[in-house]
Amino acid sequence: MEEQLAELAAKVAAMEAKGNMTNTMFAEMYYYITIPLMIIIHAGFLAYEMGASRAKNALSSGVKNILAFAFVIPAFYFFGWWVYWAFPTGFSLSAGPNGISGAEYANSFAWAWGDAAASMGPNIDDQISGVFWGAFTLFAATTASIMSGAVIERIQTVGFVILAIVLGGFSWTLAAAWGWHADGWLVQNWGLHDFGAAGLVHAVAAFFALGVLINLGPRLGKFNADGTANHIPGHNMPFTATGLMLIVVGFWGFLMACLVVGGEAWSWGANYTTIYGTPTNLGALSFNILMGVAGGIIGAWLLTKDPFWMMSGALAGLISVASGLDIYWPSLTFIIAFSAGILLKPAATILENMGIDDAVGAVTVHGTMGIYGLVLLGIFGSGYPALLGEGAPTVSFVGQLVGAVVFIAIGLITGYVTSLILKMLGMLRVPAAAEELGLDTVKVPAQAYPEGIPASAPASR
């Protein structure tokens, strides 16, 4: 009898080990898949911005976008990952209540140098850290792409790369540490909830872009002497609309990566949760992503009938509901997204009337609608637990408002200060003659349409 029991126990232990291995491999594959899905976002931004540029600037806009992607990756490896784990409690670098933050904690595994570097490289004993880092890196790269579209057709390439590194490696990472980490002070003290990162990714990037635009100034010919604005159309609307649709596709990976897979030592429980440990699943996302996209498109279509704003409406709808995507009923999601689609064009016009030349409407789509959705969750999600556990802080209007102000400040201040320094160094804006000639001619050793019309002049160097 004892031998049979021992044999049975051994079989149960073996089955448990296999189950754990299967779960770990699933978690590894889950985050691994989110990475190429999020790269589709960048393919979308690339097409979107190149189409929204005039033909003489098409390739330079694409090159800028590719460089942002390339430079943010090492920036997040060398210091962004460390910032996320070190700063949740503020600037004190102290540990938070969950014991998974602070400088000492970050030094142990998120530092690319010394002993900690063993966790930041090939490590067959750790199947998760690399893919989790990869997903976070793509969040960082997305912020740079959001900023990229706003500044096309007149920014210096090197200046833009420096701005992308600051935004992707520090600004959004600091916001994520404060509002997207279980030890984050905005979560612990104010009950902030921003599941899909409407504020801490989209709004931070958009207001960073706004800070840059203030120093960068409008494109030549955008505004008349009396302050009225001229429309400067891109050269390829079908390309732009396709790019916007690709961004929507990539959003599935972006939002998928916002979930924490259960059943692992680092997870919150046996099932999917948000990054705060509150329950949700992929089914909830499927309902609400589709309803958000549809609501935004319909709202923008009713007001504008313009394909550019219709596809921007898809993004606006999705961003406006991202904060509460895990808890909203789909019908409420649709209504909020629909209202965002309606508000989109008027909000962009207000910004333009203030003398800001946002070439693709990024500040409005990602910033205004991100903040709109973040604050609305304070109304519709009030009282919902912001964290897992007894006595956890709850969502409130005031808490969401505080989060919105902090995210705006992080983006706007870091974007404005960095771009001001670049402006003083002569590294922000291209000379007027280069802008008139077209950036492809002076910056890119290739032509967008060498055999077609219209073709830019050959590169001068």
- Over residues 225-236, the mean pLDDT reads 92
Nearest to 317 by CA among 275, 272, 369, 241: 369
Instruction: Summarize pLDDT for 68-114 with one digit per residue, the tens.
Output: 999 999 999 999 999 999 999 999 999 999 899 999 999 988 888 88
The arithmetic mean of pLDDT across residues 351-380, rounded, is 96
Q: How far apart are CA 54 and CA 75, in angstroms?
A: 31
pLDDT value of position 31 = 95
Which has the higher per-residue pLDDT, 124 or 290?
A: 290
Residue 454 is predicted with a pLDDT of 59
pLDDT band at 4 (very low <50, low <70, confident <90, very high): confident
Q: Which CA distances in Å does 348 have to 154, 273, 365, 420, 456?
A: 20, 35, 8, 24, 30
Residue 325: closest CA among 359, 362, 372, 274: 274
Query: 147-151, 383-387, 408-412, 453-457: which range is least confident on average?
Result: 453-457
Share of the chain above pLDDT 70, in %: 98
Beta bridge partners of 394: 385
Q: The whole model's pTM is what?
A: 0.94
Q: What is the set of domains in the chain, with CATH numbers?
A: 25-95+108-443 (1.10.3430.10)
Q: What is the mean predicted confidence (pLDDT) over 224-245? A: 91
pLDDT (0 to 100) of residue 6 = 87
- Residue 268 pLDDT grade (very low, low, confident, very high; cuts 50, 70, 90): confident
445 vs 179, residue with greater confidence: 179
Report the amino acid identity of residue 156. Answer: Q
pLDDT at 443: 81
pLDDT the model gives residue 123 = 84
Please tell me which residue, 111 or 198, carries the higher pLDDT value. Answer: 198
Q: For the chain, what is the mean pLDDT? A: 92
Task: Determine contact, residues 192/403, Cβ cutoff 8 Å.
Answer: yes
23-27, 377-381, 450-454: range with lowest mean pLDDT:
450-454
> Is the pLDDT at 354 greater than 90, yes or no?
yes
Whole-angstrom Cα Rg for the chain: 23
Q: What is the mean pLDDT of residues 125-145?
A: 92
HEC assignment per residue over the chain: CHHHHHHHHHHHHHHHHHHHHHHHHHHHHHHHHHHHHHHHHHHHHHHHHHHHCCHHHHHHHHHHHHHHHHHHHHHHHHHHHHHHHHCCCCCCCCCCCCCCCCHHHHHHHCCCCHHHHHHHCCCCCCCCHHHHHHHHHHHHHHHHHHHHHHCCCCECHHHHHHHHHHHHHHHHHHHHHHHCCCCCHHHHHHCCCCCCCHHHHHHHHHHHHHHHHHHHCCCCCCECCCCCECCCCCCCHHHHHHHHHHHHHHHHHHHHCCCECCCCCCCCCCCCECCCCCECCHHHHHHHHHHHHHHHHHHHHHHHCCHHHHHHHHHHHHHHHHHHCCCCCHHHHHHHHHHHHHHHHHHHHHHHHCCCCCCCCHHHHHHHHHHHHHHHHHHHCCCCECCCCCCCCECCHHHHHHHHHHHHHHHHHHHHHHHHHHHHCCCCECCHHHHHHCHHHHHCCCCCCCCCCCCCCCCCC
For the residues 321-344, what does the mean pLDDT come to?
97
